[in-house]
Amino acid sequence: MEHLALRFKGLSDPTRLRIFRLLAHGELCVCDLMAGLDLPQSTVSRHMSFLKKSDWVSSRRNGKWVYYTLTAPADEIQSLILQQLRRNLPAMKEARQDYGRLMSHLDTKNTETCTD
């Protein structure tokens, strides 16, 4: 029961919902998320830590860079929540603005960024 409560708590913050929307695009590093959200690294990293702890995201390290993705649903409840979030978040104004900033960042991103 505590694990389920932690999962819901993971999505109870507007910033974490914004992160979720950006990660629906695919694997991103913290610098990509910072650009999309227009937030400092410390804030993004703190929220990523909580999303990872609550089993919404997974990470992989490549040298000094950490890349994040949404985790595959572990059960039917998580699957249903993911479906609803994917359906409803893109319609929210702030999520659309974040997505626009992310796309601009990715279009102009230096190929050396986030690589060793």
Domain boundaries, the chain: 2-106
Average pLDDT, the chain: 89
CATH class of 2-106: mainly alpha
Residue 89: the pLDDT is 82
Helices (H) and strands (E) in the chain, counts: 6, 3
Q: Name the least confident of 18-22, 52-56, 88-92.
A: 88-92
> Residues 19-23: what's their mean pLDDT?
93
Give residue-wise pLDDT tens across range 44-88: 999 999 999 999 999 999 888 899 999 998 889 889 988 888 888
Spatial distance between the Cα atoms of 66 and 29, rounded to a whole number of angstroms: 6
Burial 24-53 (b: 16+ CB within 10 A, else e): beeebbbebbbbbbebeeeebeebbebbbe
- Residue 28 pLDDT level (bands cut at 50, 70, 90): very high
